[in-house]
Amino acid sequence: MVVAGATGVVGRKLLPLLREREHHVTALVRKTDRLEDVPADEVVVADVLDLEGLSDRLRESGPDVVIDQTTGFGAADRDEAMRRTAKLRASGSKNLLDAAVQAGARRFIAPGMTAAYRPHGHDVLDEEAPLWTEAPGCWGEVVRALASMEEEVLTRAGIEGFVLRYGSLYGPDTEYAPGGDIHARVCGSELPLVVDGMGLTSFTHVDDAAGVVLEFLEGGDPGVYNVVDNEPAECSEWLPAYARMAGGPAPVSLTADQAKAQLDWLTVHQLTEQRGATNFRIRETLGWRPTWPSWREGFANLFGLWPG
């Protein structure tokens, strides 16, 4: 099998899991400088935006499963990260799907995001809820690219397609870890608690984001699956708890109107109207259970306050 995006936070967790189960794995990367402990003969260098070169590399590898874990969210600038991610989903993932079909792969596993759901009421959303394709700005570009990519993956003839919609990824090397963007904003009192906001966040530990892929190498019906923990949380719950565990100050309390005057649009959306997601489908159809059922234990473990 081939793992694209093998240097990302999920890809680096996934490679050793696959090798432990004695799968033959090829790591597809643009650069090798971030890849450790992977034999040179298990690494292929290719750019997912270059269809011709990508197709050549996949035909040489002959994978039965192709796993897409590429992301643009490593960029320091948030708008740039969203633009890169939109481009990867709109072009890179589709190129990877084309190359997988040409190489004779039987399954394709792609990444999605529960944050892309259209905000509606106070519900926790399942996989049938619509994506927010009319969202404004760079976020709208991301969601539209995701929706287009998902349609391609789920309808392409000759291959079984799966979309794993992750929640907000946390754990080592993520933006919630020491040195990450969320950690810096919370410890710098730059991420407030919106007292009249009803935004919900569904979290996914990187251990679960990587581990769930193993379930779909052979099992499961093609389709879309939310991969989140059991406890969607309002910012009034998770943000103060995270701040305490991170050793930061208590978040400043603002009204939604005050937040709109001080913060970027996307942050306000996340804190005030974003909806959480349910993992009911994957729990019932595959019997999957998250290693970290709640962000509470996951955050505590991240900061050395919980065994694991």
Q: What is the pLDDT of residue 271?
A: 94
Q: What is the pLDDT of residue 120?
A: 82
Q: What is the pLDDT of residue 33?
A: 60
> What is the residue whose two structure tokens read 């701040």?
243
Tokens found for residue 188:
């710098």
Phi/psi for 125 (5° steps) reads -95, 145
Q: What is the pLDDT of residue 97?
A: 98
Which phi-psi region, left, alpha or beta, contains residue 146 (left: φ > 0; alpha: ψ -120 to 50)?
alpha
Cβ atoms 157, 98 nearer than 8 A: no
Q: 264 Cβ partners below 8 Å, 6+ apart?
A: 78
Whole-model pTM: value is: 0.95
Phi/psi for 3 (5° steps) reads -115, 110
> 207-220 in b/e burial notation, b at 16+ Cβ within 10 A?
bbbbbbbbbbbeeb
Average pLDDT, the chain: 93
Q: pLDDT tens digits for 159-174?
A: 999 999 999 999 999 9
Cβ atoms 195, 255 nearer than 8 A: yes
Per-residue pLDDT of the chain (308 residues; tens, 9 = 90+): 999 999 899 999 999 999 999 999 999 988 766 666 666 568 889 999 999 999 999 999 999 999 999 988 766 678 888 999 999 999 999 999 999 999 999 999 999 999 999 998 778 999 999 999 999 999 999 999 999 999 999 999 999 999 999 999 999 999 999 999 999 999 999 999 999 888 999 999 999 999 999 999 999 999 999 999 999 999 999 999 999 999 999 999 999 999 999 999 999 999 999 999 999 999 999 999 999 999 999 999 999 998 76
Q: What is the pLDDT of residue 28?
A: 93
- In 212-262, which residue ranges form alpha helices assigned H by DSSP? 235-246, 256-262
Single-letter residue type at 242: Y
